[in-house]
Amino acid sequence: MKKMLILSALLLIPAFAILIATQNPEEKPAGNLVPVTQDAFGAPFTLTSHEGEKFRSSDLSGQYQLIYFGFTYCPAICPTELQKITATLNALNPEIAAQIQPVFITVDPERDTVKVMRDYLTLFHPSFLGLTGTQEEITQVLNDYKVYAAKVDDPSLTEYTMDHSSYIYFIDPEGRLLRLYKMEDTADYMVRDMTDWFKART
Ligand code: NI
């Protein structure tokens, strides 16, 4: 059921699915790096930060970004991926890490309030920015960033859970999507791959 949902979501966005399919981690030599998109990825948004401030996507321009979409109640995958971003930032050359803004955008704004986001992010890298918003605002951002997310009622649980796609988006200061890191990409791999990006540009 879960797989079918994810598959049908990908079929709705075939171009994006092809982009994902053509990302082969074994074939990424340094200095031969082509962005996934030539234009800015996503679309402008205004959300609310984990500090309760209005936050515009334009506040991120000029910065590299590692963006992850998930939810704080996620039992396993989201914390693993956020920990992976944390480990990557800690292992990168500090001069490179300082240029990268990690961002966690909730797919579950109903439960992920400002306070819940703020408390949750204390578990991860201190530079993390958490973003939440109204259901309408979040739905728009999910559509613009090609994120699949759906509420799932599990009769064995007292609370609902969220089924969602899981990619780490590596975005450059011009807003172009450089990479989609997958769950099987390790922090070590991300460090090597991102270091190659910065080497190729200097
Ligand atoms: Ni999750």
Distance CA 124, CA 87 (A): 9
Contacts of 58 (CB under 8 A, 6+ apart): 44
Summarize the confidence of residues 10-26 as an average pLDDT.
Answer: 48
Determine the distance separating the centroid of ligand 1 and the alpha carbon of 13, expressed in angstroms: 21
- Collect residues with CB below 5 Å from ion ligand 1: 70, 74, 77-78
Residue 105: the pLDDT is: 98
> Does residue 141 surpass a pLDDT of 80?
yes
pTM reported for the whole predicted model? 0.84
If DSSP codes are grouped into helix, strand and coil, which group holds residue 116?
Answer: helix
Distance separating alpha carbons of residues 72 and 140, to the nearest angstrom: 20
The identity of residue 102, as a single letter, is P
Ranking 70-84, 135-149, 154-168 by mean pLDDT, the lowest is 154-168
Please give the pLDDT value at position 164. Answer: 95
* Tens digit of each residue's pLDDT (9 = 90 or more) over 50-60: 999 999 999 99
**pLDDT recorded at residue 155:** 83
Residue 30: which region, alpha, beta or left (left: phi > 0; alpha: psi -120 to 50)? beta
